[in-house]
Structure 1
Amino acid sequence: MTADGAPPLIPSMRLDELLSELQSRLEAVLATRDRVHTLLEAVVLVGSDLQLETVLRRIVKAATQLVDASYGALGVIGEENTLLEFIPVGLSEEEIARIEHWPHGLGLLGMLIKEPRPLRLSRISDHPESYGFPPGHPPMGSFLGVPLRVREEVFGNLYLTEKRGGADFDEEDEAVVIALATAAGVAIENARLYGETHRREIWLQASSEVTTSLLSGADVGDVLSQVARNVQDMADADVTSILFPTSDGQALRVLIAEGAEGLLGTEVGLDGSLPGEAYRTGGPVTVPDLAATDYEIIDDLPMGPAAAVPLGAAGSIRGVLTFGKRPGRIPFSPSTVRMLNAFAGQAAIALELAEARRDAERLGLLEDRDRIAKDLHDVVIQRLFAVAMTLMSTVRLVDRPEGASRVQHAIDELDATIRQIRATIFALQSPLGPGGSGLRAQIVELVEGTRGHLGFVPGLQLEGPLDNAVPEAVVAQLLPVLREALSNVVRHAKATRVEVVAEVAGGRVTLTVEDNGGGLPPEGRQSGLRNLRDRADQLGGTFETGSGALGGTLLRWSVPTG
């Protein structure tokens, strides 16, 4: 004791030290508990989503929070030990925009790829394998790198830099990130399996729907649009398109587009384009970044990962299916491309089956038309002709003029009916063109198109094999002649009745247009008529105009068919 009876100070100081040490250990225990709790929360958060891109970004964010790092990134390893994808965290959009390019997997990052084990550094630049940063990249000092494994496969690496407060990453930081990486591998595997299972479900359903739709007679364009939408869903693509060869076979034209409708009608060459290579080689073509290749790029369509698969097998390719993502997204996996290649092959088979079905239906329709034409010719016309002959012989036996006139009128009606039936026979025997684009159909379309201008439909009579006997060169002149003649009636005639006759007989095709209007225009307004005469002269034919039986203008244009 001291002189005044107080206890000594030394035991009191010893107790303070012990209490201080106990407090620091308690704080360390609490900090460890909090860190473990944070790690568990991070593991739960990472595994709570099944979208792979979302899972990867959550992994990086969780790692930066666990070790108090300013920056983090996840590098996905691709072919030839390069970084296929780089997912950064901690950089602002302005900082990202200033970076010239993301790391390619060289230098220190390349060493981690070749030797996948944890690595801690006080300063990145001090390591002999340091390759430096890309232009525009912010400077970084302390570093912690940990491989990220999915089962036994190294999926990528976690990169963490610039521990806050200027400290270095320690062993505890490394242990925590390794634990997170282990859990992340399970989450990535689950996301992969979910994605593949989801794609296969869509594939099975889409294959069934496409085949059923095509074989049930659905419109091919609608079915192809359905194919593009299914592919967009299966591949998680931003843009999907289907291209078919142009008529000259020198390019591919976009006929179906999902996600970028402005692509419709766009053409790309067979050489120097991604779909062109798939078309020429007959196999799938994939690139991680289309902008970084020499392939042709469509203007105003920024594209990163892209792929193209042929519709059909080599030697019978019908078109090309392409799909792509925005720049910066994860490229298409080989399994996804293989699956979509198989799906495109199934779609091509379904298209061939649908085409064969349509050909069979067309053949059946042609056989029915041929049978009907034969029946009309061999039975109906012969009977009508016999009735007409009987009536003609009866005319002389009728005493009263009224009776003779009626019989003659019946004969005329029978003759007109026979001509109409013959015209029907020629129409039935004409080939079925796509969309009914024969000469008869085009004449009918032109004549009916004047209804709105005239206020009535002109009379129309079509006789002879117009679809079979008139060559393309004559069709190319006859249709403009009819269009000009009807236009003259609309603009100048003020007619209330118009009759159009197109006839093939005696090796010539003759077009007659007659109205009950005000007659021919003055001499100074006959430039259109001169054009019609020139068209006849070019084909060795004739062109006549004059007054018709209806009291207006008669126009007759006739050229040889041979």
Structure 2
Amino acid sequence: MTPAPAGRDPDARASLPLLLDAVLGVGSEPELQATLQHIVDSATELCAARYGALGVVDPERVRLTGLYTAGMTEAERAALPELPDGRTGLPGALISDPRPLMPQDLSKDSRAAGLPPGHPLMRSYLGVPIRVHTEVFGHLHLAGKEGGGPFTDQDLALLRVLASQAGTAIGNARLYETARRRERWIEGAAAVTTTLLAGRPAADALMCVAERARLLADAAAGVVLQPTPEGGMEIVAASTHGDPGDLVGTTIAPGSAVLGQLLGGEPVFIEDSATDPRMTTPVRERFGPSMMLPLQSGGRLIGTLALPRPRGGRPYDAVDRLLASQFASQAALALVLADAQHDREQLAVYEDRDRIARDLHDLVVQRLFATEMMLESTKKRAAAAPAGDTVGEDTVGEDLARAVDELDSTIQEVRTAIFALQQPPSDAPTTFRGRVLRETGGAAVLLGFQPSVQFTGAVDTLLPEPVAGDLLAALRAALAAAHRRSEVTSIEVAVDATPARVRLTVTDDGRTTSGTRGTTRTWESAL
């Protein structure tokens, strides 16, 4: 057997394949949590340690917010009342001074104090920081060197190489995770915008925002608060895993420390809702970390979106706060646009009502006035005619017949206006096909049944607006006339369009004044 070259450590050379496998392995997982667990498993195997842990440091709170372990059984994990928080002991020493630690005997090192009850006994220890660029992301902790001896300088060198490569892998995994989180929030904001612009009622719109935000933030609840006339804020919409009934109606009374920030449109971030003195609502006891974000657009404060997590829940990090704030801004803009769209639709309805009022004045009132004048003239002529004048009597009869026809036409105009007023105010179709269906749908309210409609040809593209308006007016008149007839049980509407002409046919099975059943009316226009 060939001896090792002078100056080469056989153990170091034997560790190189393990180090290579570990370095290659830590970059193989795109998910951050899987990457962290793989790092601690690789470090434990590489340095022949019994126990390993990777603590994630929150730079804002300067404490551990996550701990990944290797070598501990489920029973040993369950025996720990709580995991180290990084404020004391060796984790705390590494956080305050992020340089490698390798004490020879933990039992004689004062920095090893503060381990929770039930923690496995350890004598040897090795810890190194993990840096992502210039930021300390966390620390690798190894304990219990196999064989009972202390960790060596070679173990330290191997672990530092692994920690350096782990920093790169963690940086990539964090970028991947942030990109996925951002994608989910963007998709959620787009879905909320689409839903709100579909014409949902105001209460449903706020509930949509609360529910979507709760799911995206992985929160225990999503609530929307709005200002009250008394100067406070009230929860008007709430989404939870269970029944949110006890949340809706909860108020923040005037004078609360947090109220000024919320009414001023400022975001508020809470570490623990149950213990924060700024929180005064009775429901705060059940919640922990929370974000309270303004729903504000164009200087208009619609309300506040609150996303509390349960007691002891994972705190929100900087990325959570940024993405949720962007979502709240987008949701507020969508709410404003939905309100504006609703106002535009209402304005269109009011304009349509004005048009109908003008039609009633121009057509119906003038026709009634003309009929009145005709009857007045007939009355005077009848009074002045000598007795037995048959010619005069015939003339009076003809005038009365014309008056009856005029009144009949006037009644039809009034019925046409009534049909137009029956149209649902929230619908404002722009295509000819949609407008025809809107007219027949409105007529169904008075008729008691839905007229059948058939289209032939490209009616939406072939008909110019003037022709479409004339046909719709004719359709209203035909539906109103059909409603006047007795025993009507069905109405068929057919629109047939070609590049040269368009034809509207309305057929009903009602009984006419002469006793016959069935009437067909047709309108045709050149294109």
Q: Same fold by TM (over 0.5)?
A: yes
1:67 to 25, 38, 47: 47
2:70 to 79, 89, 103: 89
**Which amino acid is 1:82 matched to?**
R
1:374 aligns with 358
* Counterpart Cα distance in 2 of 1:322 and 1:418: 55
SS in 2 for 1:104: coil
**1:114 paired to 2:96:** yes
Could you report, residue by residue, the CA deviation over 1:287-340 in whole angstroms, capped at 9, with x for unpaired residues?
Answer: 5666776767979x9977553422216963323445577888864431442243
* Counterpart Cα distance in 2 of 1:243 and 1:177: 49
**Which amino acid is 1:103 matched to?**
P
1:8-407 aligned at under 5 Å gives the runs 29=10, 31-78=11-58, 79-108=60-89, 109-199=91-181, 213=194, 219=200, 225=208, 237=218, 241=222, 243-245=224-226, 250-254=233-237, 260=241, 263=244, 266-267=247-248, 269-271=250-252, 279-280=262-263, 282-287=265-270, 306-312=290-296, 316-323=300-307, 331-387=315-371, 390-391=374-375, 394=378
SS in 2 for 1:189: helix
- Fraction of identical pairs, as percent: 33
1:487 aligns with none
Contact 2:222 2:305 in 1 (8 A): yes
**Which amino acid is 1:382 matched to?**
Q
Contact 2:222 2:306 in 1 (8 A): yes
Task: Note the C-alpha offset of 1:113.
Answer: 0.9
Contact 2:262 2:268 in 1 (8 A): no
Unaligned runs of 5+ in 2: 383-391, 429-441, 450-527
**Which amino acid is 1:84 matched to?**
T
1:557 aligns with none
* Counterpart Cα distance in 2 of 1:73 and 1:276: 42
* Counterpart Cα distance in 1 of 2:272 and 2:74: 20
Task: Note the C-alpha offset of 1:367.
Answer: 2.7
1:517 aligns with none
SS in 2 for 1:103: coil
* Counterpart Cα distance in 2 of 1:132 and 1:66: 27
Task: Note the C-alpha offset of 1:68.
Answer: 2.9
Contact 2:192 2:212 in 1 (8 A): no
Could you report, residue by residue, the CA deviation over 1:163-193 in whole angstroms, capped at 9, with x for unpaired residues?
Answer: 3443332222222221111111111111223
* Counterpart Cα distance in 1 of 2:22 and 2:275: 36
Contact 1:270 1:277 in 2 (8 A): no
Task: Compute the TM-score of the two structures, normalised by the length of structure 2.
Answer: 0.61
Contact 1:392 1:408 in 2 (8 A): no
SS in 1 for 2:300: coil
Unaligned runs of 5+ in 1: 1-18, 436-444, 458-562
Root mean square deviation of aligned Cα: 5.3
Deviates more, 1:401-410 or 1:332-341: 401-410
* Counterpart Cα distance in 2 of 1:36 and 1:153: 28
- Provide the aligned length of Structure 1 versus Structure 2: 415
Contact 1:202 1:230 in 2 (8 A): no
* Counterpart Cα distance in 1 of 2:410 and 2:363: 16
Could you report, residue by residue, the CA deviation over 1:360-383 in whole angstroms, capped at 9, with x for unpaired residues?
Answer: 343243233213312312432221
Contact 1:147 1:154 in 2 (8 A): yes
